Homo-oligomer: A and B are copies of this chain.
């Protein structure tokens, strides 16, 4: 049992040191989180714009996580160095106390055995001495009997009857016979006693080795395994608590990562700086009223001819530019998807590092990574060049388009007699979006960009809007909560989620 106590001491020592270690770790984590927060406070001015970005939430979550981790490890430390150490101390005390008592009981049984053995020894001695007495008595009896026999042979029957000597001998024989019988009885009793003691001793010793020792050990062990296992279960429970806590932190972080949203960030950024990004007023025409008088027909004719030729030129120019731009857009799109593929390589999986035979987290080969970087930069460069071409090209197109449109309109206005049916308005090509490919799936109906939603769903008005308007048309005036009393925030949210769910489902 000494070994078990030593083992518990070792466990206790382990938990004490582990507790110190956890405390240390917890303190370091806390320091880290605090210093980050402090710096954040100090640089509040500089970091004014941070809350605009969805990555800020991730950062915050990381800090919170660190704080929580620190707290959890502080708890672990507390559990280890206070609870577990105390518990194990108690276990040791208990075990040692019980052990002492059991030893005492063991000594008592030993004494009992010794007593029994002593008794056995005594009875054996008694038996042997009685046996000796018996043998003496027997010898004496035999001697007397021999004397009597001799006498009986030498003397006749009559003589014998009268012989005084014979009578004496006869008496002697009877006396000796009685003595012998007594001795025999005593010896037999002693023998029985001895055998009984022998049986008792054997049984006692057998019982001691077979039952009592086992019982004593059981008794010494009593509760030891329970207590140790409960102490260790406390450790397991504490660790599991930590695990759960970390897991929930990770889940929260994952949620933050999933809600990283470049569109939303852009939106917030634009709103925050709306003064800078407000669309300026249109430039007004600055001319004389006198222009209003319509020019002389011959002049107008000249002008018309010129404008028409110009319109033709513009249209030709536009067609080529559009084709070019289309070309540029296509390469741009390809470059974007290539780049995205590079960016989205699933190279963040670390699970391999934590297996039984961990793959050491080696840095990828220097040359390979340099190659990758170079590829990436090349693609990026190409992408940016194309982006530049596209932006500038589309600006030019927009400008020419505006001119062309104006000329067309004024030509139409000038020659109403021509009554040429207005050229069917070319559907403006769908607006092209940079980074469109990054976003997968349908754009958000709630909290997203309405424009993008309509583009993606090819609707003019979102179905939900139509439906709402229809319902309001039908029931709006008769129901509370539409025009008359505003609804509960909670109920509005619930309805929103329901609709979103149905939309997705």
- Identify whether the interface residues of A are mostly helix, strand, loop, or mixed: helix
What is the total number of copies of this protein in its complex? 2
The interface residues of chain B lying within 8 Å CB-to-CB of A410 are 192
Would A358 and B230 count as touching, CB distance under 8 A?
Answer: no
- Give Cα A434 to B127, complex, Å: 39
With A188-B303, A306-B189 known as contacts, the answer to whether A234 contacts B350 (CB < 8 A) is yes
With A257-B233, A288-B131 known as contacts, the answer to whether A55 contacts B262 (CB < 8 A) is no
The interface residues of chain B lying within 8 Å CB-to-CB of A11 are 55, 58-59, 62
Would A250 and B240 count as touching, CB distance under 8 A?
Answer: yes
Residue contacts A-B, CB under 8 angstroms, 14 given: A11-B55, A14-B32, A94-B380, A109-B391, A194-B287, A203-B401, A207-B395, A221-B262, A226-B344, A233-B348, A236-B253, A236-B254, A239-B250, A243-B243
Q: Is there a chain B Cβ closer than 8 Å to A435's Cβ?
A: yes
Would B265 and A221 count as touching, CB distance under 8 A?
Answer: yes
With A3-B49, A395-B204 known as contacts, the answer to whether A228 contacts B269 (CB < 8 A) is no
Would A10 and B28 count as touching, CB distance under 8 A?
Answer: no
Besides A4-B53, A209-B278, A215-B391, 19 other CB < 8 A contacts? A6-B47, A11-B58, A14-B32, A24-B25, A58-B228, A82-B361, A83-B361, A97-B380, A102-B384, A120-B283, A189-B303, A189-B306, A192-B307, A195-B406, A202-B402, A206-B282, A235-B253, A241-B350, A245-B355
Nearest CB of B to A76, in Å: 9
With A78-B361, A231-B348 known as contacts, the answer to whether A222 contacts B434 (CB < 8 A) is yes
- Give Cα A54 to B224, complex, Å: 12
- Give Cα A53 to B14, complex, Å: 18
Interface residues of A in 192-222 (CB under 8 A from B): 192, 194-196, 198-219, 221-222
Would A395 and B109 count as touching, CB distance under 8 A?
Answer: yes
Nearest CB of B to A158, in Å: 31
Name which residue of chain B comes closest to A209, CB basis. Answer: B279
Q: Is there a chain B Cβ closer than 8 Å to A422's Cβ?
A: no
Would B348 and A237 count as touching, CB distance under 8 A?
Answer: yes
How large, as a class, is the contact surface on chain A?
35 or more
Q: Is there a chain B Cβ closer than 8 Å to A17's Cβ?
A: yes
Q: Is there a chain B Cβ closer than 8 Å to A229's Cβ?
A: yes
- Give Cα A376 to B227, complex, Å: 13
Q: Name the contact of A299 in the complex, choosing from B4, B188, B291 (C-beta under 8 A).
A: B188
Name which residue of chain B comes closest to A387, CB basis. Answer: B219
The interface residues of chain B lying within 8 Å CB-to-CB of A228 are 55, 58, 260
Name which residue of chain B comes closest to A73, CB basis. Answer: B25
Q: Is there a chain B Cβ closer than 8 Å to A181's Cβ?
A: yes
Q: Is there a chain B Cβ closer than 8 Å to A374's Cβ?
A: no
Interface residues of A in 328-345 (CB under 8 A from B): 336, 339-340, 343-344
- Give Cα A183 to B290, complex, Å: 14
Q: Is there a chain B Cβ closer than 8 Å to A316's Cβ?
A: no
Nearest CB of B to A345, in Å: 8
- Give Cα A347 to B335, complex, Å: 62
Q: Name the contact of A202 in the complex, choosing from B241, B244, B283 (C-beta under 8 A).
A: B283
Mark A245-281 against chain B: 1 for CB-CB distance below 8 A, else 0: 1110010011011101110011001100000011110
- Give Cα A210 to B377, complex, Å: 29
Q: Name the contact of A7 in the complex, choosing from B55, B232, B250 (C-beta under 8 A).
A: B55
Name which residue of chain B comes closest to A251, CB basis. Answer: B236
Would A3 and B47 count as touching, CB distance under 8 A?
Answer: yes
Nearest CB of B to A348, in Å: 4
Nearest CB of B to A191, in Å: 6
- Give Cα A199 to B350, complex, Å: 57
Would A353 and B75 count as touching, CB distance under 8 A?
Answer: yes
Would A21 and B28 count as touching, CB distance under 8 A?
Answer: yes
- Give Cα A227 to B347, complex, Å: 11
Q: Is there a chain B Cβ closer than 8 Å to A318's Cβ?
A: no
Nearest CB of B to A343, in Å: 5
Top 6 closest pairs, chain A to chain B, by CB: A241-B354, A234-B348, A203-B402, A218-B434, A238-B350, A200-B399
